[in-house]
Amino acid sequence: VSAMRTSQLQFHTRREAPQDAEARSHQLLVRGNYIRRLSSGIYHFMPLGYRVLTKVKAVIAEEFAEIGSSEVLLPALHPAELWEATGRRAVMDDVLFAIESKSGSFVLGPTHEEAAIHALAPDLASWRDLPASVFQIQTKFRDEPRARFGLMRTREFIMADGYTFDRDREAMRKSYANFREAYAKIFSRLCLNALAVEADSGAIGGDVNHEFMVPSVIGEDHFAECADCGYRANTEAATRGRREPATGGQRGLKEYVTPGAPGVTQAVKALVDQGEDVTQGSMLKCLVAKDSDGNTLVYAIPGDRELKLPAGVSLVSEDFFESHPGFVKGYIGPVGTAERGARLIVDPLVLEREWWASGANKADTHLVGLVPGRDFSPDEVTDLVWVIDGDDCPRCGGTLRLIRSVEIGHTFQLGTVYTARLNYARFTDSEGAQMPYWMGCYGIGVTRLLAVIAEQFSSQDQGLVWPVSVAPFAVSVIGVGGSSSKEVFDEVNTLSQLLDAAGIEVLQEDRGESSGVIFNDMELIGSPVWCVVGRRSLQEQMIEVRDRMNGVTELVPVPEVVGYVAQLLERLSQIIR
């Protein structure tokens, strides 16, 4: 192997990013010809993109092997029965690509819990065969309604997914800890500031699980963080710390006529106009819902908060109000909920204020001065609101901040949630009983990582500056100041060979293009270090070494360049973003 030359890169960079590319990473990956769109959410990986992908995959595979997980490759085509057996054919129906063919009904795997159990169960008949751990790096398919940000959310993507099988909860937790440790090493080698965040399990299921989030402007998610105690949870899972209920609410109850003011904003205005000192935060917002058993529920939360609807519950539609005249749409209040055949469920925040304004359960009328416990009594107190910036930490009482971020990995302690449903997912325990495996599963979005790394390691001015571990080339060697100069040409060649011999991946510029073209390309190819050989500096036996990550340029004596670059690369590998 010798140093790669730019003339050997078969494909061009482009001047323009596609119009639909909002994210900087998306623009740069397309302009640099790393990826090309075939269809919405479906991309070709061009040679440079494939090169980065290969490096990311290698880091993941090495660290998973390091914790004793064996690499496998499970199929993408799954017989539909496989998914029917666990009930997920229905649960994940909206994202499954389904195939009806001559040879049967299939789905394209969006994840591989079922397939992994099918592959491994025959080998894991006894507790002596456990623990077992496998992983694969494989293409997945999801019929995403909103493909976006280039590789961030796609319909065909590569995941690294691990699966562990254990005899009991404690052993499962050990396997889980091993994978979390591997995750930490992987993200550190990829130079990403990935934070483990408590998460909701969604369509995968199970108890404990963590998302790995990188704070980023292109994040589609948020997590809540407490700087004091380190509590981190995504917004689905995060709760707010409760305060003491307010006591001593003495204010009298007053009724106001508020015609045409069904919403919180209008009600506040109507009440303020009549001299009341109310705000959105002192309005009690009451929402009518039905649970899965058909019970009517009234949820009450502060007017400046958003309801986090519990699973299995849905808000009632227009029809409900027409057929239930006791519930006056836009004027629902907490008083007399039981008399109307409903349960009143309130967020803890409702008890933390002395009095509230709310609807009066009759048209065009509001009440001000509703005191919890005096004027209404909740049937249940439970967390009902999305956390917001500034809420109390549920663990230590500190202050929560919401951080925009991208999910790059997810780990799940599944327990027996799948294996209990599959009669072949059993092992014989040490007492001879047939028990379901305790499973863990672990996913990293490999193609998404390219987008995240490109976003974190780029700027509008500099273009891409890849981390050393995944850069297509660690160093670009470029001659400037006259392609006609034989000295420059020779030194570019010699230095490239020396760097290559030192085990450093080099891209040697050899096309004789103008500096403008060369540096434009080089900003898109994104080597973190450039060695720029100029005629004038070469006369003084110096070469310019640019540390693009820190924006520092040094003139280095020719004989010292290789050693200097090697040390620089070592230092740059430690930069985490």
Q: Which residues bind a copy of itself (CB under 8 A)?
A: 8-12, 33, 36, 38-47, 49-51, 53-54, 68, 70-79, 82, 97-99, 101-104, 106, 108, 115, 118-120, 122-123, 129, 132-134, 139, 141, 143-145, 147, 155-156
Beta carbon of residue 36, minimum distance to a copy of itself (angstroms, whole number): 6
Identify which of residues 131 and 369 has a Cβ nearer to a copy of itself in the complex. Answer: 131
Helix, coil or strand: residue 317: coil
> Is the dihedral angle over the CA atoms 373, 377, 380, 383 positive or is it negative?
negative
Smallest separation (angstroms) from a copy of itself to the CB of 316: 28
Nearer to a copy of itself, 120 or 498 (CB): 120
Which residue in 245, 182, 172 sits closest to 209, CA to CA? 172
In 3-state terms, what secondary structure has residue 563? helix
Identify which of residues 75 and 245 has a Cβ nearer to a copy of itself in the complex.
75
Cβ closest to a copy of itself, residue 162 vs residue 359: 162
Task: Report the alpha-carbon distance of residue 375 to residue 220 in Å, rounded.
Answer: 41
**The token pair that represents 106 in the structure block:** 């299939």
Shortest spacing between CB 145 and a copy of itself, in angstroms: 7
Tell me which residue has tokens 């060695």: 531
For residue 152, the minimal CB distance to a copy of itself (Å) is: 16
Q: Which is nearer to a copy of itself, 97 or 320 (CB)?
A: 97
Cβ atoms 6, 509 nearer than 8 A: yes
Q: Which of 522, 509, 502, 521 is nearest to 569 (CA)?
A: 502
520-525, long-range: CB < 8 A, 24+ apart: 520/13, 521/6, 521/13, 522/476, 522/478, 523/462, 523/463, 523/464, 524/13, 524/28, 524/31, 524/32, 524/33, 524/463, 524/464, 525/13, 525/32, 525/48, 525/464, 525/472, 525/473, 525/476
Residue number with CB closer to a copy of itself (140 or 222): 140
Q: Are 153 and 144 in contact (CB under 8 A)?
A: yes
Residue 274 beta carbon to a copy of itself: minimum distance, rounded to whole angstroms: 50
The span from the CA of 161 to the CA of 441, in Å, is 7
Give φ, ψ of 266 to 5 degrees. Answer: -65, -40
Give whichever of 117 and 226 is closer to a copy of itself, judged by the CB atom: 117
| Closer residue to a copy of itself (CB): 121 or 283 | 121
- Structure-block tokens of residue 77: 């085509």
> Least Å distance between CB 14 and a copy of itself?
8
